Each structure stands twice: as structure tokens, then as C-alpha cells.
Amino acid sequence: MSERDPSPSKGFEARLAEARAVRDGERGTKDGAAARSGMGVALRIGLEMVSALIVGVGIGWLLDWWLGTGPWLMILFFVLGSAAGMLSVFRTASGLGQGVGYKPGKGKGSERG
Amino acid sequence: MATESQPHGPLEQFIIQPLVDVKLGSVDLSFTNSALTMIMAVGLVIAMLTIGMRRRALVPGRWQSIAELSYEFIANMLRENVGSEGRRFFPVIFSLFMFVLFGNMIGMLPYSFTFTSHLIVTFALALAVFAAVTILGFVRHGMHFFSFFVPPGTPLLMWPLMIPIEIISYLSRPISLAVRLFANMTAGHTLLKVFAGFIAALGVLGVVPFALVIALTGLEVLIAFLQAYIFTILTCIYIHDALHMH
Amino acid sequence: MPQLEQIDTYLSQVFWTALCFGILWIVMWKVTLPRIAMALEQRQSRLDDDLERAALIKEEADTVREGYEKALAEAHAEGQAAIRKQTAELSEDSARRHAELTESLAKKIKKAEANIAAEKTRAMESVREVAVEAASAATERLVGVSVDAERARRAVESAMGKTGSGDGD
């Protein structure tokens, strides 16, 4: 007769806990890493190679123009630019990050190059 | 690309047309169709986000929801990619995202202009981001910032090779940032225009390209959003790099 | 490609980009974002308040229910005790009554027995008298001698033995 029966309040309790969990979850960080498609990665790699090449050639051309060293620095920096481009490709492909420095785990977002 | 010879060519939409001549000395700062869409974009962003928040209701209406969702979207992006330090940069990152997003989206409307399809605009934005991030890195780390260009674990012998490569890599950031946005917007809008041209040319059979244009428009809306997102998230990542180096 | 051909418009484009972006930045920074932040904060604190209050009210309700249950249990125990007491009283009463009844019945039985005994004695008396009369009548008839009553009675008494001795004078 006098047995405890908490079931009427159990529903409420559960709902309250749920609401609190939802609120706490909203405060925490969401893992919103965008899906990265292979196509996006491939296009981005191409763009990064080209950008590095443009910069390399540009620097070489400017130095040549400044120092009057003919086409040699441009050729040298073309090679360096290619190397930088390949480095970017390597880093992007191994998911090491977007740019300078070996920094792991920052490759986010699918991109169209 | 002979734009002038084809009055309705797919590249015609990218022509800058001065609307009001503005001269500052010998410098031409004319108000153009590009500037007009920029002002439209800015006005639209401000109107949407500010007027939507005029009545700060507990249960948000549609406009308030959009404003709050955008806010939390960018805030999350910043928190995930920069960390709690990133809060200082929230206004500028938010503005950047909205500016690029609305620039891309306004270009979707017929007869309008896409200012993000101009390399000089995207390059100005990318260069501003690049300069700001570089200054931030210097302010934060002083001369130690140069260690950025030496990957940890590089043997001393490799330094003369690695440092130029890393500098080139670093300098290529604004270029890839600018070219990505510019190329995506230009390619997408050119393609849309080409297919739209097919509709007119094919007459009744134009139903096929019409369906294609609709599908492409959907894709372009997605890309317009995605490119604004990428531009912003890369900026966040650059800020993170400048703050934390390696 | 007009983007790469109209170089003379570059300066104007950069200028308007900087101007528009600057305006957007300042408005977002000073007006719009604080408003959104405030609205979000208000909602969050309101939500927190509501949840907090819900938890508080629930606690209160739990306390009330506990008190109620305790009171219920007490009342129940009290009732049980009362019933037990009543039962005990009742059984005691009935036992007493039973004892009384048994006693009175025993008394009645004893009285009835006494009555029966008295009745018996009286019956014996009358039998003797009848015997005396019969004896004297029989003697008179048989012997022709009239026996006086006193002798007859003595004779009967001796014949009957000691049965009715207690009753004779």
C-alpha cells in the first residue's frame, strides 16, 4: 500500500535530463568537419602547385630584373617553385595541413581548385 | 577572348561598366557596376542581419533565425579552427564570409554582376588577409616568426633549399586563395551563360539545356556557398598558424 | 577575359572593395553582431533559468511527495495499531463474557440439581406415606387388626431400610 512508486515523475525527470544534455551539447564544440571529396582535393592540389609555380617564377623574374642575371634565377626559382608545389601536394595528400610548416590534422573543407 | 566582337558572349557579364565617373586627381575611382553590386551586397547583409534582430524575440522569427544561424556557423568555424583566441577576429571573419557569400550569390541573379569573379577583387581580399596574418604573426612572435620557414627536423644542410621553398609556399597562399575564388566564380558563371545561350539557340529543343541550367544553378548556389566557406576557413587556418606557429 | 583586360579599372575596384568591406565590417562589429550575441545570450540564460527552475520545482515536488508518503505511512501504522488494540479489547471482553456465562450456567446447573434432589426427596416421602397407608390397609384386611398409624409407619420405615431415614423424624 505504501510502496514508493516514482514512475509518474520518471517521465519528467528523463525529459529534464534530456533538455539539460541538449543544452550542454549545444555549448560544446561540434565536430563540423566538412566532407572532403577526392575531386575537391585533386583540384586543390593542382591549384596549389600552380600558385607555387607562379610565385617561384615571379620571384625569379624580379630578382633577374633587379640583379641583371639573365634567365638563371628565374630558372632556379621555377625549380624551387615546383618543389614548393610538390611539397604542398605532399602535405595536402597526407593531410598535414594547408600551408607552411609540418602541422598535422588541419586539413578541412572540400575545395574546388 | 574577343569580348567586344560578341555582344552576348558568355564573358560579357564580366565587363566592368562605369556608372558614375569619380576622379581623385588623376586617379580613376569610378563607381562601376561592380561597386554597385558590392554596395547591394553590403546593404543586403546589413538589412537581413540587423533588421531581423530589431525585435529580439525569445522564439526567433525567420530572419532572426537566419542571423543567429549565421552567427553560430561562423563562431563554430572560428572556434574549431582558431580556438578561443579567435574571438577577437570574429567580426572581421564574419564580415569576410558575408561579403564573399553575398558577392557570389548576387551574381546568381540574372543581369547582375559578380564582383567575386574579378581576380583583382579576390586578390585584394586575399592580400589583405595575407598581410594581416603576417603582421599578426610578427606582432605575436617577433623575429621568431622566421622559424616558420624552417620545418622542424630539417638538417642544417637542407636549410638553404628549404627556406626558399617554404617562403614560396607561404607567398603562394594569397595567390591560391584569390585564384580559387575567382576561378570558381568565373567558370561557373561562364558555364551558366553558355548553357543559357543554348536555350535561346535551340528554341523548342531548349528544354534540355533549360533543365541543365536549372541543375547548374543549383550547383552554382552550392559552390557560391562553398567558396565563401573555403575562403573564410582558410583565413581561419592562417590565423591559427600565425598565432601558434609550430 | 575582361577580368584581365580592364586593368584601368583595377584601382577603382580595389577602392570600392575596401570601402564596402570596411563599412560592412564596422557595421557588423559595432551594431549587428553585438545584437545577435545579446539575443543568443538572452535565450541561453532564459533556457538555463527554465531548466534550473524545472529542476528546483521537481526537487520541491519530490520533497512534498516524500512528506505525503511519510504521512500516509504513519496514518497507516496508526490505523493498524488501533485495529490491533480494538481486536485485543474485543477478544478480552468475549473471554470475560464467556467465563461469566460458564459460571452462571454452572450455577444454574447446580440449582437444578438441588431442585431435582429436593423433588426426589419429596417423592420418596409421598411414596412412604402411600406405603404406610397401603401397609395398614393391607394389614387390616388380611389380619383384621387395625394398626395404628404410628406402628405402620415404623414398620414401613424399617422395611424400606435406611433409604428415607434422613427424612423421618
Q: What value of ipTM does the predicted structure carry?
A: 0.87
For residue A103, the model assigns a pLDDT of: 44
- Measured CA to CA, the distance from residue A101 to residue B243 in angstroms comes to 13
Contact across the interface for C3 and B98, Cβ inside 8 Å: no
Q: Write down the pLDDT at residue A10.
A: 60
Among B73, B74, B129, B165, pick the best mutation site for testing chain A contact (most A Cβ within 10 A): B165
Distances (CA, A) of B112 to B4, B78, B180, B241, C166: 19, 31, 21, 37, 154
B7 phi, psi to nearest 5 deg: -65, -25
In a domain? residue A53: yes
Q: B246: pLDDT confidence band, cut at 50, 70 and 90?
A: low
Which whole-number Å values give the CA distances from A15 to A20, B54, C50, C54, C62, in the listed order? 9, 33, 13, 10, 16
* Contact assignment for B168 to A55 by CB distance below 8 Å: yes
Q: What is the mean pLDDT of residues B86-99?
A: 94
Q: What is the structure's pLDDT at A64?
A: 92
Q: What is the pLDDT of residue B104?
A: 93
**Distance (Å, whole) CA C106 – CA A108:** 111
CB contact under 8 A, B32 and C37: no
Which residue has better confidence, B146 or C111? C111
A82 reaches B (C-beta below 8 A): no
CB contact A106 to B (< 8 Å): yes
Element (H, E) at B91: helix B90-106
Assigned domain for A10 exists = no
Percent of all residues in chain B with a pLDDT value above 70, rounded to a whole number: 94
Give B99's contacts in chain C (Cβ within 8 Å).
20-21, 24
Mean pLDDT of chain B: 86
Contacts of B75 in chain A (CB under 8 A): none
Name the residue ranges covered by the structural domains of chain B.
12-244
Q: What is the pLDDT of residues A5-61, one digit of tens each?
A: 444 556 777 877 777 777 665 544 333 333 345 556 666 677 888 899 999 999 999
Spatial CA neighbour of A109 closest among A95, A94, A91, A89: A95
Give φ, ψ of B27 to 5 degrees: -90, 130
pLDDT of residue A23: 66
Instruction: Give the range of the structural domain holding residue A52, as residue numbers without chain letter.
Output: 38-93
Judge: A80–B166 Cβ closer than 8 Å, yes or no: no
Q: How far is C73 from chain A (nearest CA, A)?
A: 6
Radius of gyration of chain B (CA): 22
Range among A79-83, A84-88, C139-143, C145-149 with highest mean pLDDT value: A79-83
- Among B8-17, B89-98, B210-219, which is the least confidently predicted range? B8-17
- Cross-chain Cβ contact C3/B60 below 8 Å: no
How many other C-beta atoms can be found within 10 angstroms of the C-beta atom of residue C119? 10
pLDDT of residue A43: 66
- Structurally, how many domains does chain A consist of? 1
pLDDT reported for residue A108: 38
pLDDT reported for residue B209: 74
Task: Say whether pLDDT at B135 is over 90.
Answer: yes
Higher pLDDT, A1 or C73: C73
Query: Which residue in A23, A24, A27, A54 has the most chain C C-beta atoms within 10 A of its own C-beta, making it the best mutation to test that interface?
Result: A23
- The pLDDT, as a whole number, for residue A15 is 78
Please list the ranges in chain C whose pLDDT falls under 70: 162-169
In degrees, rounded to 5, the angle at the alpha carbon of residue C119 between the alpha carbons of residues C115 and C123 is: 170
> Mean pLDDT over residues A100-111, rounded?
40
Question: CB distance B148–A77 less than 8 Å?
Answer: no
C44-79 per-residue burial string, b: 16 or more CB within 10 A, e: under 16 = eeebeeebeeeeeeeeeeeeeeeeeeeeeeeeeeee
Residue B117 has pLDDT above 80, yes or no: yes
B19: enclosing H helix or E strand = strand B18-20
B60/C39 CB distance under 8 A: yes
Q: What is the pLDDT of residue B214?
A: 85
Higher pLDDT, C52 or B5: C52
Q: Shortest CA distance to B72 belongs to which of A24, A21, C40, A22?
A: C40
Residue in chain C lying closest to B38 (CA):
C20
* Residue C72, pLDDT score: 94
